[in-house]
Amino acid sequence: MYLCIMKTWLVVLWLGTLLSCAQRAENRVFYEKVTRALERQLERYPKSTVRDVYKSFFQDKYGPGHLLEDTAAAGRYLRWELACYDPDTLPFTGPYIDSTGWEHRFVRVDLRAIKEGKISYRDYFEAFVHSAQAAPPVLPESWAEEWARVVGIIEKQQLPLTRHSSYRADKDSITAMLQRGEYVGHHSPEYVASYAPHYRLIAADVFQSADL
């Protein structure tokens, strides 16, 4: 009887050790990948605030699925945006395709790709619709937990984001939004003024071989 108890205890201890090691490894990978993603965001878009980081990480996790409720209306709005969009007058010309967040599930594909004939409107819009329809459902609780981990890394790294005058207010606003069960964020005025974002989210694997 005693031997059985000892064996059971040893198995439980062994399993606990394995789980603990696996959790530490997962935490380390998460920390490293999020840190690289944050550094990349600030290197490419130095005017970013925590609101812009939130938007990028949320887009990476859940894509454009929460945005597409009416395909016809989305098509009309895209054509209107294209008609108003003149890349030559914008203050910033970024890449045609830009990654989001830390897992890079979705990419932002700039409307210049259509304007400059890199891709047809039809192919672009079909890729956007397909990506939206295949996007995972938003899980507010799970997402709130992940975002809290990201904020922890931002503050531990003491990134320039934390010294922005609106950092505390923006962080608290995002937290309050998530506590209400809401999750859709927007670019900061600084980001919009500096980079004039015009893009749609498309699943990364759709554009893996695209020559953009």
Give 73's pLDDT tier (boundaries 50, 70, 90). Answer: confident
What is the tens place of the pLDDT at every residue in 120-178?
A: 999 999 999 999 988 899 898 999 999 999 999 999 999 999 999 999 999 999 999 99
Six token digits for residue 177: 């939004």
Task: Go through 151-166 and write b for each residue having 16 or more CB atoms within 10 A of its CB, e for each that does not.
Answer: bebbeeeebebeebee
pTM for the model stands at 0.85
Six token digits for residue 25: 């490894």
Is residue 191 a contact partner of residue 197, using CB atoms and an 8 Å limit?
yes
pLDDT at residue 105 in the model: 94
Maximum C-alpha span of the chain? 81
Every domain of the chain and the residues it spans: 2-207
What CA–CA distance (Å, rounded) separates 150 from 71? Answer: 33
Residue 20 has pLDDT above 70, yes or no: no
| Lowest-confidence segment of 80-94, 110-124, 145-159, 183-197 by average pLDDT | 80-94
DSSP state of 136: P
Residue 81 has pLDDT above 60, yes or no: yes
Is residue 103 a contact partner of residue 146, using CB atoms and an 8 Å limit?
no
Six token digits for residue 86: 């003149």
